[in-house]
Chain A
Amino acid sequence: MNYENMNDIINYWKYELKQVFKDAGVIIFFLVVPFAYPVLYGIIYNPEIVHEVPMVVVDLSHSSSSREFIRKNDASPEVKIVAIVTGMEEAIRMTDKKEAYGILVIPKEFSKNLHTERKAVVKLYCDMSSLLYYKAFLLTATEVSLDMGKELLIENLPGNSSKMDEITANPVNHESIALYNPQNGFATFLLPAILVLVIQQTLLLGVGMLAGTRRSSRHTGPTFPEARISQVLWGRFFAYLTIYMIVCFWALIVVPHLFKLPQMASFYTIALFALPYLSACIFFSMAISCFVKSREIPMMIFVFTSLPLLFISGISWPGSSIPVFWEWVSYIFPSTFGIRGFIKINSAGAELPLISFEYMMLWIQAFVFFIITFSLYQFNARGQGLSKEHFMMTVGKKSR
């Protein structure tokens, strides 16, 4: 590339940056949303876990064992026993009024069974409005029942040493280690995916809006010679890249720090990863923007896609269970590999060689969308009616 070319690209870069900062609508998408949104979501999800979920107990046993069982449930951080009632009807009424989200029924023969070596069955009814309530109740009740069961067994075995008791009650021990999200937090799980997705979606909206403005403005200028298409294209690319390097720094490095999300990747790893992701996103947006005819339509058409894109990335609904057809569809979008790759490097601490598939796919996407954008620009520049205006920019002339 000779000096003249470089100069042109720099001029287009400056011109496009000016266009961005002239336009309040674009600033909303390029700067306000990427900066405010992550914080907003951070605040919503930052409590991470549910605790003290209210539960009502129907205690038909009225025994010291049943009271111990209740006390132990109440003592756990996840569950709070708000009332102990005598009848199921009363308990149901409490759940109807949302004073409790679960009912624990301790049977009449609870204590008798425990002391005569028969099974005691405790019933647990859960309101399924949130799976997290259900999980809190079920895990707590299971822990407590295993715990009390062990104690009972030891009590019922006379004469042995306590270590022996423990072994008989529990011949095999187990431990569970939750990796990469030790407290099972909701923000830790969902926020990284949102952060990556916001980058693609705001680029799509902002670049779309800029293109829509170019198309709809009645401003006319000299026809653009074909030879300069690549300079316009690279000028724009670098303009968006400049802005989004700052956005990436905020969304992928500062926000995780602010909300204490996992930050396993080094600055350089994130930077090296962000480069193909941003390139793919920018060319993807530029290619799509060639079809945008008005300023506002992108918002109506692109915003809702965030939800399918989030789910198709395999972060919530596991990737191994995504139907093959949708898996292939997901390969079109940079966000798929962006989200997957970012979670692997920043949450799970994988080094770049471990995510070579995602990394390569992002570069391939960047290249393919570059080719598509370039061809569309060329096609438009050949004087296909409306789209000719696309290249009617005075800056090219001025630089001469």
Chain B
Amino acid sequence: MTTSGKNIQSGLEVTKREVKRLFSNKVYLFCMFVAPLFCLLFFLSLMHKGLPTDLPLALVDLDNSSSSGNLARQLDTFEGTQIIFQTSDFSEAREIMQKGEIYGILLIPGNFAKDAVSGKQPKLSFYTNNSYLIAGSLLFRDLKTISVLASASVGLQTGRAKGYTDDRIMTQLQPIVIDTHPIGNPWLNYSVYLNNIIIPGILQLMIFCVTVYSIGIEIKERTTRKWLRTGNNSLFISLIGKLIPQTILFLICGLIIYATLYGGMNFPFNGSIFSMLLLLFLFIIAGQAFGVFMIGVLPTLRLGLSFACIWGMISFSICGFSFPVTAMYPPVQALSNLFPLRHYFLIYVDQALNGREILFSWEHYIAMTAFLILPFLVFKPLTFAIRHAKHEL
């Protein structure tokens, strides 16, 4: 048999051995399928509405006139808000806000209706609880709209008295109109916004963990000799043979995720299928390469796993899908490039959300591929650890 033929033969032997190992330990099944698919289900059902609706708020009406009542009714018809509490005591409303039962308060001052038509410029005040950022921002938008509307309705009254047409009055009150086009996610759907990154992030965390565990457990249980022997005493062949079945299983899980997000849920997908499949594949093998690096740098199971968990968790923050990387401190910005999820996010934005040409994301495809160099950096320490596997505590 030729050398390459023999190498392939022993690689296949390692793969066979690995498949047996994967199916004999439940923790693999849990990490590769149960955890990511549970999260997929959880997050999609948690945010199935897309936008939070009926955010509770309180109305403090000190005027009690028909026009203040009108204002409240108008606000209540907004899909995003719901007045759950009405009082004439502001401190009572604030207490409920502190209790977290409402996210905002609209305060209508006394004599509001009278002052408005007599030109005394009464002031509507709205308070939002911004320790809940999403709820606070959404309420802010609706309360702002209602305040502008209040102004407009009084303007209409006085304008009509002067004999102007409604159209003319509205133009006078708001001569410049902003017509907004959020590209790719016109509904401002939070599920789209968050889950496109959270779910791949969970998958990546699991790829890190499984890669580290599957190698680390051999070191811990001193089965590395057997593993290496099966792989014709070549670490390269032993690693490839070990990782390929995991790649395939993660790919299957990734495809289920993609089918659910872009098929079942109809999340925005404006690019080519090829570019996203390429992304998924590179993302998975980049994660595996990083995993090999982790156990190579810290060749004891628990330390390697700690590395995997910490890197995997920080990915969520540093990839910039919630708080943008461009707003972080420069050293953190530089550091973000070391996280595969960062490049995943940027490619996803280009390819799936915005449907840009693949050329505009080439740097990130390259960066993702560059993670494949990582295992070669730790070949020496990893070889050493594997050949001298000692029983750790």
Chain B residues in the interface with A (C-beta under 8 A)? 27, 30-31, 35, 39, 42-43, 45-49, 52-56, 95, 97-100, 103, 116-117, 119, 121-137, 140, 143-144, 147-148, 150-151, 154-155, 158, 168, 171-185, 188, 190, 193, 198, 201-202, 205-206, 209-210, 213, 216-217, 301-303, 305-306, 308-310, 312-314, 316-318, 320-324, 326-329, 332, 345, 349, 353-354, 356-357, 360, 393
Contacts and interface: CB of A to CB of B under 8 A. Distances in A.
Given A168-B158, A318-B103, A320-B52, A96 B356 contact: yes
Contacts of B318: 44
A297 B121 contact: no
A174 B39 contact: no
A249 interface: no
A75 interface: no
A343 B133 CA distance: 12
Given A295-B301, A295-B302, 13 more contacts: A97-B360, A127-B349, A129-B321, A132-B327, A145-B176, A146-B148, A149-B173, A168-B155, A174-B124, A174-B148, A301-B30, A321-B55, A323-B45
A300 B178 contact: no
Nearest to B209: A300
B184 A300 contact: no
Contacts, number: 322
A331 interface: no
A121 B45 CA distance: 38
A318 B125 contact: no
Question: Contact residue range for chain A?
Answer: 35 or more
A384 B117 CA distance: 81
Contact of A126 (B30, B117, B181, B320): B181
Nearest to B106: A174
Nearest to A114: B175
Among B53, B158, B209, B313, residue most surrounded by chain A Cβ atoms (within 10 Å)? B313
A64 B20 CA distance: 74
Interface in A54-100: 69, 96-97
B215 to A, nearest CB: 12
A128 B193 contact: yes
A175 interface: yes
Nearest to A297: B27
Contacts of A153: 172-173, 175
Contacts of A314: 132
28 contacts: A25-B302, A43-B329, A45-B317, A47-B328, A50-B324, A117-B168, A119-B171, A121-B177, A124-B178, A125-B183, A127-B354, A128-B183, A128-B353, A145-B175, A146-B174, A168-B155, A171-B121, A174-B150, A175-B124, A180-B130, A299-B209, A301-B30, A304-B35, A318-B55, A320-B103, A322-B46, A348-B98, A355-B99
A119 B357 CA distance: 36
Given A130-B324, A179-B127, A125 B181 contact: yes
Contacts of A258: none
Contact of A128 (B121, B184, B198): B184
A296 B305 contact: yes
A181 interface: yes
* 6 nearest A-B pairs in the assembled complex, by CB-CB distance: A174-B147, A181-B130, A145-B176, A350-B98, A321-B52, A171-B154
Interface of A: 23-25, 28, 33, 40-41, 43-47, 49-51, 53, 69, 96-97, 113-114, 117-135, 138, 141-142, 145-146, 148-149, 152-153, 156, 164, 166-182, 184, 186, 188-190, 192, 209, 213, 262, 295-297, 299-301, 303-304, 306-308, 311-312, 314-323, 325-326, 340, 343-344, 347-350, 354-355
A299 B178 contact: no
B312 A188 contact: no
B30 A319 contact: no
Contacts of A172: 116, 121-124, 147, 150-151, 154
Contacts of A33: 310
B126 A189 contact: no
A304 B30 CA distance: 12
Contacts of B302: 24-25, 28, 209, 295-296, 299
A340 B100 contact: yes
A317 B100 contact: no
A297 B213 CA distance: 9
B305 A120 contact: no
A301 B27 contact: yes
A320 B56 contact: yes
Contacts of B327: 47, 49-51, 132
A325 B42 CA distance: 11
A317 B329 contact: no
A126 B183 contact: yes
Contact of A180 (B31, B122, B131, B345): B131
Contacts of A189: 130-133
Contacts of A182: 130
Contacts of A307: 39, 198, 201-202, 316
B176 A304 contact: no
B182 A303 contact: no
Given A50-B327, A174-B126, A344-B100, A321 B30 contact: no
A47 B277 CA distance: 35
Contacts of A297: 27
A41 B95 CA distance: 31
Given A134-B182, A171-B154, A299 B176 contact: no
Contacts of B125: 174-177
Contact of B143 (A40, A176, A304): A176
Contacts of A97: 360
B168 to A, nearest CB: 6
Contact of A317 (B47, B154, B313): B47
B39 A119 contact: no
A317 B195 CA distance: 12
B98 A344 contact: yes
Contacts of B198: 307
A326 B326 contact: no
A354 B99 contact: yes
B72 to A, nearest CB: 15
A296 B117 CA distance: 71
